[in-house]
Structure 1
Amino acid sequence: MFGDMMGMMDKLKEAQKKVEETKTRLNSVLIDESSNDSKLKVTITANRTIKSIVIDDELLEDKEMLEDYLILTLNKAIEQATSVNEAEIAAVAKEGMPNIPGMDMFK
C-alpha cells in the first residue's frame, strides 16, 4: 500500500514537471491572427503574451475603427491561444496522472 502511494506521488511530481516544461515550451508557440481584411495582424504566444501588432496606415486615421479592430482581432487570437494552451496542458497532465479510481478529470 505504502509503495503504491510513493509510486503515485512520484508520478504526480513527474506530471507536474512535464506540465511546467510544456508551459515554458508554449512561450515559443506563436499564433498569428488577422482581421478579415488583413488591416490588422497580431502575433501572440500560446501562453497569451502579445509578440507583435501590425496596423495598416488606413486604420490610424480612425481611432474608433482601430479600437474595434484591436478588440476583435486580439480576442480571436487569445481564444485560439487558450485552446492550444489548454489542449497541450491537458494532454501532458493526463499522460502523467496515476490511475486513481474516481479521479478521471481529464477525459
Structure 2
Amino acid sequence: MFGDMMGMMGKLKEAQEKVEATKKRLDTVYLQEESSDGLLSVSISANRVIKEIKLDESLLQDKEQLEDYLILTLNTAIEKATKVNETELAAVAKEGMPNIPGMDSLFK
C-alpha cells in the first residue's frame, strides 16, 4: 500500500513538472487576431500576454472608434488564447494523473 502511495506521489510530481513545462512552452505560442477590416491586429501568447498591437493610421483620427476596435479585437484574442491554454494544460494534467476512479470526469 505504501509503495502504491509513493508511486502515485511520483506520478503527481511528474504531472506537475509537465504542466509547468507546458506553461513555459505556451509563452512561445502566439496567436494573431485582426479586426474584420484589417485596421487593427493583435499578437498574444497562449498565456494571454499581449505581445504586439498594430493599427492603421486612420484609427488615430477617432478616439472612440479606436477604443471600440481595441476592446473587440483584444477580447477575441484573449478568448482564443484562453481556449488554447486550457486545452493544452488539461491534456497534460489528464495525461499525468494516476488512475483514480471518478477523477477522469474532472478533465472532460
Partner of 1:106: 107
How much does 1:103 deviate? Answer: 1.6
How much does 1:102 deviate? Answer: 1.8
Residues 1-107 of structure 1 aligned to structure 2 (within 5 Å): 1-104=1-104, 105-107=106-108
Letter in 1 for 2:55: I
Deviations 1:58-95 (A, max 9, x none): 10000000000000000000000000000000000000
Percent sequence identity over aligned pairs: 72
SS at match of 2:27: helix
- So what's the TM-score if we normalise by structure 2? 0.97
Report the count of equivalent residues.
Answer: 107
Gaps of 5+ in 1: none
How much does 1:101 deviate? Answer: 1.2
Gaps of 5+ in 2: none
Structure 1 runs of 4+ aligned residues shifted over 4 Å read none
